[in-house]
Structure 1
Amino acid sequence: MKPEFENIPLVKAATRFEIEINGHFALIDYREMGDQIALVHTEAEPELAGTGAAIAVVEKTLTYIEENGKKLLPFCPYVFAYIKKHPEWKRIVDEKFEGYDKL
């Protein structure tokens, strides 16, 4: 994560995790089911394109999931690809996730 995003707080709203940068948002839609959190869709407003904001919200969300003892279901293709590139995060993926062996 770029240093400029480190002190930006992650906000957990009813259906999304989000960070705000200069009035613009990077977010991940999620569903929480017991001890599992399914990440469904990652998005950053066009004003944040190329800034690293989407990666920052992913990293902050993965940290939140781990710190809260939850298991990840990475349905979002962006999150799935991030975990493939950073296999150390596979530790929080639920082993029952259908694509687990592809990570």
Structure 2
Amino acid sequence: MTDIADQITEEVTETKGSYSYRADGAVAEMTYSRAGANLIIIDHTEVPDAFRGQGVGVALVTRAVSDARLRGHKILPLCPFAAAQFRRHPEWSDVLNG
């Protein structure tokens, strides 16, 4: 998963953002909305079949958690996949909003 994590990029606008992983012509993406200065809402995660079972989706959420810690942000995971990952990773509770 380290190789995947190293290749994840982030794009940010004033109100939205995304984390993406690209390889072999396929793109996995997790999108979020900014709600105030210190809260991001993960609203969608999409991983193409080409990446299934490789930990790409988890790597996207893990990157968001890491960045939230560095930036002092909280995360509200409305996306079902991201919410499930937060349930599986209680060590992420420090950045969980709510």
CA contact (8 A) 1:27 1:42 kept: yes
1:23 aligns with 2:25: yes
Residue 32 of structure 1 is aligned with which of 9, 31, 34? 34
Deviates more, 1:28-37 or 1:15-24: 15-24
Shift of 1:82: 0.6
**TM-score of the aligned structures, taking structure 2 as reference length:** 0.83
Moved over 3 A (4+): none
In the alignment, structure 1 segments of 5+ residues that lack a partner are 96-103
Aligned-partner SS, 1:17? strand
CA contact (8 A) 2:20 2:29 kept: yes
Deviates more, 1:61-70 or 1:81-90: 61-70
Shift of 1:7: 1.8
CA contact (8 A) 1:11 1:19 kept: no
Shift of 1:58: 1.1
- Equivalent residue, structure 1, for 2:45: 42
**TM-score of the aligned structures, taking structure 1 as reference length:** 0.79
> What's the C-alpha RMSD, in Å, of the aligned pairs?
1.6
- For residues 22-101 of structure 1, the aligned pairs below 5 Å read 22-34=24-36, 35-95=38-98
Aligned length: 94
Q: CA offsets, 1:62-85, max 9 Å, x none?
A: 111221111111111111111111
Shift of 1:6: 3.2
- Percent identity among equivalent residues? 24
Shift of 1:23: 2.9
